[in-house]
Amino acid sequence: MKRTPIIYIILVSLFITALGFSFYFYKQSQQFDRQITRGISAKEDLPRYHFVLIGEEMNHDYWRLVGEGAKEIELKYDVFVEYVGPQRSNPEEQLKLLDIAIKSKVDGIIVQALSDEFTPIINKAVKEGIPILTIDTDASESLRNAYIGTDNYLAGQLAGEALVESMNGQATVGIITGSFTNAHHQLRVKGFKDAVEKVEGIEIVAVEESNITKVEAEEKAYEILNEHDNITAFYGTSSYDGVGIVAAAKSLNKLDSLYVIGFDPLTENIQLLEKGDLDAIVEQQPFEMGYKSIELMLDIINEKSVQDTYHTDASIIRVSNLDLWKSQRMNPHD
């Protein structure tokens, strides 16, 4: 007789357990249904085009502005811009990302082509029907549809002309270039040399490479300053070179007698300009590059006629026009 209550207790426990499992699976089923519904809705809301933008360096202020320009235009034209790139400048990683984008069969690719190694992969994409834009750095010998970005040779010339003017045609110059192998840095050096070497009083005594890092820019500038006591001016071709040059000159107490011109109005560069540590900055238009690259890609897809090359503006920022630059920067796309 004593076993009957125990059996009842077991049966009630089993019933409660079964009820609990039933409720759990009912809730899981509802959640799964909601996920399916969201998935179907997401597919229905997918943008019309999927573009990939491959930059040089994700954490770099310059490339952040390129990405912001491209992303700003997404909703206007119903496109999704996937912005990718290495954390630090790494052409091999960019090439891998380019290959992945091609295999993913995206609708268009915008890529910085740092060397001749990009040419065959760009050609592969175009042959497979994927339009390619080069941005910031061109691969003019490839099958790419168009290039958008700075005329890097002209930017180098502008830097050279600014130095000649500020130094009254008399200077002994050291150059820190971001890279000996990257095409856009080569063009910036060539443009600068062509502008200054025709001036009798200008002499270039050293050219070193920073690998687009502040630390190496400082190290190389320090070496140049120690080897050439007569240096009166420096030119840096990457965003970080000016910062490194200033740091090296300060450590040797030579900054007061040195003219320094660098690239890109990053926050730190603008602060150095305001202090008088930098004398001039070559400004590019990264936001505009990103923004207009999407419009240009859509023109290509819609089979509209496009130019081979679209050059964005380059200009010189000095203390004398810094306030004007700041006011214009408040609305970068106007």
Question: Is the C-alpha dihedral spanning 277, 279, 282, 285 positive or negative?
Answer: positive
Max mean pLDDT among 51-65, 118-132, 316-330 falls in: 118-132
Per-residue confidence (pLDDT) for residue 23, from 0 to 100: 57
Looking at residue 127, which CATH number applies to its domain?
3.40.50.2300
The one-letter amino acid code at 151 reads D
Percentage above 70 pLDDT, the chain? 85
Residue 251 pLDDT more than 90? yes
- Find where tokens 């079964």 sit: 18
Residues 249 and 207 in one domain: yes
**pLDDT class of 25 with cuts at 50, 70, 90:** very low
Residues 196 and 299 in one domain: no
Residue 36 pLDDT more than 50? no
Residues 160 and 255 in one domain: yes
Nearest partner of 145 among 332, 320, 293, judged by Cα: 293
Rounded distance between C-alpha atoms, residue 166 and residue 47, angstroms: 51
Residue numbers of the domain that contains 223: 152-263
Identify whether 305 is part of a domain: yes
Name which residue leads in pLDDT, 9 or 149. 149
Residues 204 and 137 in one domain: no
Residues 162 and 180 in one domain: yes
Q: Provide the number of structural domains found in the chain.
A: 2
Residues 161 and 253 in one domain: yes
Residues 171 and 240 in one domain: yes
Residues 161 and 140 in one domain: no
Q: What share of the chain is helix, strand, coil (3-state, %, to 5)?
A: 50, 20, 30
Identify whether 134 is part of a domain: yes
Identify whether 304 is part of a domain: yes
**Average pLDDT of the chain, as a whole number:** 89
Identify whether 328 is part of a domain: no
C-beta of residue 178 within 8 angstroms of C-beta of residue 185: yes
Strand ranges, E, within the chain: 49-54, 79-84, 108-111, 132-135, 146-150, 171-177, 202-209, 233-236, 259-263, 280-283, 309-312, 315-317
**pLDDT class of 186 with cuts at 50, 70, 90:** very high
Identify whether 321 is part of a domain: no
Residue 7 pLDDT more than 90? no
Rounded distance between C-alpha atoms, residue 18 and residue 10, angstroms: 12
Find the mean pLDDT for residues 74-94.
Answer: 92
Residues 303 and 237 in one domain: no
Residues 143 and 292 in one domain: yes
Identify whether 1 is part of a domain: no
- Find where tokens 């009630």 sit: 12
